Amino acid sequence: MSVIVFTLIILVGAYFAGLIGSLTGLGGGFVIIPLLTLLLHVDIHYAIGASLVSVIATSSGSAAAYVKEGITNMRLGMFLEIATTAGAMTGAIIAVYIPTNYIAILLGVILICSAIMSLRKKAEQVLKQQNGWATKLKLNSSYPTANGTVNYSVSMDSIMRIPFKVSTTTSNFMIGVTAAASAVVYLQRGYIDPGISMPVVIGVLVGALSGSKILVHTQSSGWLRWVFAVVVVFLASQLIYNGIIGRI
């Protein structure tokens, strides 16, 4: 496969990952990993590096909008970043010493969990349709969020009694810094290959932007969530299977 074909395939794939990721709130960056490893047989280290960079791009891009609207609690975000950056740094260091097939299995399990969570999130949004469908959508899902968002916002929401809107945007705000902490390590380890991250970053960002445009105009993206959840679960089981038999 020539470099130009390789780049174009990733570009198209990343566009759809960003598009669907932003519609479901799952995050395009995360879906990039199975796409690269299973379809294009890229080494998982490069895939992790590329997806991490695209997570930073989408998180920073959307945080810019949320901060300006004043719905991000910057103090809360900063406080929690102590823990998330420390965790990210530890994870990045550990990742170097873990065999790749374990990483693939772990990722597969997390992907399945987040696919289930994205379907749950949909039910929640349907409930809230009555009180401000448009505002709700715009604030919550117009931009992609990395996988961790779900966990962050759930814990902020139910444990700390922070309003839901604020918890979602604040977690989105934090993801950029969290990803940057581990991206610094990955950059030095050579995980971030320019030939791969270039089409991934551009594709995911453009896809996420058009996803947010579609979301404002569409009435229901419910069926899309289901399609996406099925695809993600399928990819995730492939990852787990390949991880177990040691092909990755």
- Answer yes or no whether residue 190 interacts with another protein by CB under 8 A: yes
* Binding segment toward another protein, per CB under 8 A, in 101-109, 137-145, 151-159, 197-205: 197-205
Distance (Å, whole) CA 81 – CA 72: 14
Distance (Å, whole) CA 79 – CA 69: 20
Query: Of 129, 127, 119, which Cα lies nearest the Cα of 225?
Result: 119
Q: Which of 17, 32, 35, 53 binds another protein (CB under 8 A)?
A: 53
- Answer yes or no whether residue 15 interacts with another protein by CB under 8 A: no
Q: What are phi and psi of 143, to 5 degrees?
A: -130, 155
147 torsion bin: left (phi>0), alpha (psi -120 to 50), beta (else): alpha
Contact residues for 180 (Cβ-Cβ < 8 A; gap 6+): 56
- Answer yes or no whether residue 246 interacts with another protein by CB under 8 A: no
Nearest distance in Å: CB 108, another protein: 19
- Answer yes or no whether residue 234 interacts with another protein by CB under 8 A: no
Nearest distance in Å: CB 134, another protein: 22
Tokens of 213: 């445009």
- Decide whether 96 or 126 has the Cβ nearer to another protein: 96
Nearest distance in Å: CB 185, another protein: 4
- Answer yes or no whether residue 93 interacts with another protein by CB under 8 A: yes
| Burial of 164 from C-beta contacts in 10 A (0-12 / 13-18 / 19+) | middle
Binding site for another protein (CB under 8 A): 1-7, 40-46, 53, 56-57, 59-61, 63-65, 67-68, 70, 72, 74-75, 78-79, 81-82, 85-86, 88-89, 92-93, 96, 176-177, 179-185, 187-190, 192-199, 201-202, 205
